[in-house]
Structure 1
Amino acid sequence: MLNEQIRELAAHCERFKTPVAWRATSQIITTVVPFLALLTAMYFSLDVSYWLTLVLAVPAGGLLVRFFIIQHDCGHGSFFASKKVNDITGRLVSILTLTPYAYWRRSHALHHASSANLDRRGIGDITTLTVEEYKALPLIQRIGYRIYRNPFFLTTVGGVLHFLVIQRLPLVVQRPSREMALSVLLLDAAMLVVYGTLIYFLGWTDFLLLAAPMVLVASAAGVWLFYIQHQFEETHWSSEPEWDRKTAAVLGSSYYDLPKVLDWFTGNIGLHHIHHLCSQIPNYRLQECMAARPELATINRMTIWESLKCANLALWDERSKRLVPFGAV
């Protein structure tokens, strides 16, 4: 794709970055109301069948993903027009997503500023090594990287560790600053109050029976979405000084063509190439943006079935300019 085409697409996307207050408010209502209804149903289902509780935990976990997208947009300053309203909303939602608002806002901004840059990897990314870097590792580190890149480990164990443990520790945040560390500590305190109160009234057993499956569903879905947004065979990586943000956005991010119901739960985050091209577009306007420029629907498009084939990709091959599996080394 030529630079001129990419600039035209970027200019097109800029026209959709204005927030719409009623749509943002509607999205909050249509997330909060069904979430509370599902929590109530899950609680009463404990006396009926835990299998029913687990079934209800799937859409409840999906709504946690939708809450995360709301927080995500607030962090970009795109959900509401007011920065103050974005920040208040984002901080309140963070109690549900278990993700410190200011910490994540900063690290995610760094991710956008360095996405697909081989010289600035490791900021808000799934860690990705080149073929030559992997070959140069000692055996024990190769094994560690293989475990880390295992899709089951990454989405289950890795997802839970990230949301429940890593994000609770201010000393391990990426590019730490006083604001980021304070964000972690304040959220930890808020979680102690909110979840401590729930545990007091529900008891440890019922609380864990309700919370654990939701967190597992939400964390696994969230990590998989983040993985597939940049980890596909024909993605794009480049080094300085060739790296260009807009080129990286379009060619290094996928369009995950999901069924409409999953687009709803995931806040259209599958339109990730558009989001990276203009991160100020609210999630509720991404589909509108793509519909007005149909060629956007043809760039890096993948279905759910096609995305499953990306699960074994693990290394960037600088010669072929593709992500390859371990077996290709």
Structure 2
Amino acid sequence: MSAPTPPLPTPSAPTRRQPLPDWYRKLSDYEKPSTYRATRQLLNTLIPYAGLWFAMAWMLTHGVSYWGGVFPTAILAGCLLIRVFIFFHDCGHESFFASAKANKFFGYLCGILVFTSFEDWRRPHARHHATAGDQDRRGVGDVWTMTVEEFKAATPLNRTLYQLYRIPIFMFTFGPGFMFLIGNRFPHRGTSLREKLSTLYTNIGLIAVATVMSFAMGGFMNYLSVQLPVMLTAATLGVWMFYVQHQFEGTYWKHHDEWSPIDAALQGSSYYKLPKLMQWFTGNIGLHHIHHLRPRIPNYNLQRCYDEVPAMQNVKPLTILESFKSLNMHLWDEQSEKLISFVEFYRRQKAAKA
């Protein structure tokens, strides 16, 4: 962990052929990290999170009803864990603290809590920022999305796998659980030694935490009965947030020669408008259009940026009710430039054969 970290790309910087709007330059004012605000966020999240774990351990060892006491507390702890992931995420963008060492230390620490290797995660996530909305460079760090033509050309097996992948109960329950609990235990293919070691350190940290908590809670099964609902709550809600931030009505996809990073951020990343409490739990990540414009803006500055830069307010908010429409968006149709459902795809295929 002592070796210097190579610089990450700055994927949201506009291309040379694209003029810089005046308001874009102003966004750099919000990129300044605050040690005070970062520390305050860690304290107001990690202390309650640890307190909930202590309460659940006490309940389990004192005969309190699991479904009436432990399980609801685990759901609340899972919501706090989403917020921990946002801190982890900001450390990956080197935006949470001004200090690179502090970002790395707390990135590794939060990574253990969210079952994700810091170094192995940040590289594909940077790739996601560099390619979001780019139809020719997609596929790393994003949600698997086929175009209509790709789906037509796919083998029957790949079509079936893709349709299964897109079933909500898989995408938002089994899928996130598998990814965080099992998939993240292994480094991505083609990763560097640094990233492989990061995965190893994270796994060792998880084993250490599980061992200590199992002793404290009277056995491994007691630990598992708490860790599973906590992790699955955070994973499910976290994946949902990531999904609706790019898969929504009116989203943006262009081929690379037409692709604009500014347009991709403003049109292809949603402003997911949430109630204030949910916005707090999700670390303001619903202001995703701002995050994709300038990933170095820490989560605690996103709302202020939105309030003070009028151009950020021109993006139509995506409400919770509207976001559920995203569940019925499966394929990108290049002709109409929108996401369509499997039902619409097969309806068109039937009409074409008639």
AA of the residue aligned to 2:146: L
Cα distance, 1:101 vs structure 2: 0.3
Distance 2:20 2:79 in 1: 33
1:21 matched to 2:38 = no
CA deviations on 1:93-134 (whole Å, 9 max, x unpaired) are 111011100111111111111111111111100011101111
The more displaced of 183-192 and 4-13 is 4-13
**Partners in 2 of 1:7 and 1:161 — Cα distance?**
42
> Which residue pairs with 2:343 in the alignment?
327
Partner of 2:192: 177
* Alignment correspondent of 1:231: 247
| CA-CA distance at 1:174 after TM superposition | 5.1
Q: Percent identity?
A: 44
SS of the equivalent of 1:311 reads: helix
Match of residue 313 from structure 1: 329
- In the TM superposition, what whole-angstrom CA distance separates every residue of 1:243-287 from its partner, at most 9, and x where no partner exists? 122221111100000000011000000000000000010100000
CA 1:6/1:60 → structure 2, altered by over 3 Å: closer, same or farther? farther
Q: Give the Å deviation of 1:230.
A: 0.3
Shift of 1:23: 0.7
1:131 and 1:318 in contact (8 A); partners too: yes
- SS of residue paired to 2:339: strand
2:179 paired residue number: 162
Q: Which amino acid aligns with 2:198?
A: S
1:254-265 correspondence runs (5 A): 254-265=270-281
What CA distance in whole angstroms lies between the structure 2 residues aligned with 1:175 and 1:294? 42
CA shift, 1:236, in A, is 0.3
Q: Structure 2 residue aligned with 1:37, among 28, 43, 51?
A: 51
1:1-329 correspondence runs (5 A): 7-46=21-60, 47-51=63-67, 52-170=69-187, 173=188, 175-202=190-217, 203-329=219-345
| TM superposition shift of 1:324 | 1.1
Post-superposition shift, 1:197?
2.3
Q: Structure 1 segments of 4 or more deviating over 4 A?
A: 3-6
Match of 2:3 in 1: none
Amino acid at match of 2:51: A
Structure 1 runs not aligned, ≥5 long: none
Q: What residue identity is the alignment partner of 2:296? A: Q
Q: Which amino acid aligns with 2:336?
A: S
Measure, in 2, the Cα distance between the counterparts of 1:308 and 1:12. Answer: 34
Residues 279 and 174 (structure 1), Cα distance of their counterparts in 2 relative to 1, 3 Å cut: farther
Q: Is the Cα–Cα contact under 8 Å of residues 57 and 216 in structure 2 kept in the other structure?
A: no
- Paired with 1:291 and 1:117, the residues of 2 have a C-alpha distance of 29
- State which structure, 1 or 2, has the greater radius of gyration over its C-alpha atoms: 2
Structure 2 residues without counterparts, runs of 5 or longer: 1-16, 346-354
Aligned alpha-carbon RMSD (Å): 1.6
Distance 2:190 2:305 in 1: 33
Kept in 2, the 8 Å contact 1:116–1:252? The answer is yes
Give the letter for the 2:233 counterpart: V
Deviations 1:131-167 (A, max 9, x none): 1111111222111101111122111100011001111
C-alpha separation in 2, matches of 1:199 and 1:43: 10
Q: Please, what TM-score do these two structures have when normalized by structure 1? A: 0.95
Deviation for aligned residue 1:186? 1.6
TM-score if structure 2 supplies the norm length?
Answer: 0.88
1:120 aligns to what SS in structure 2?
A: coil
Call closer, same or farther: CA 1:303–1:154 in 2, change over 3 Å.
Answer: same
The one-letter code of the counterpart of 1:43 is A
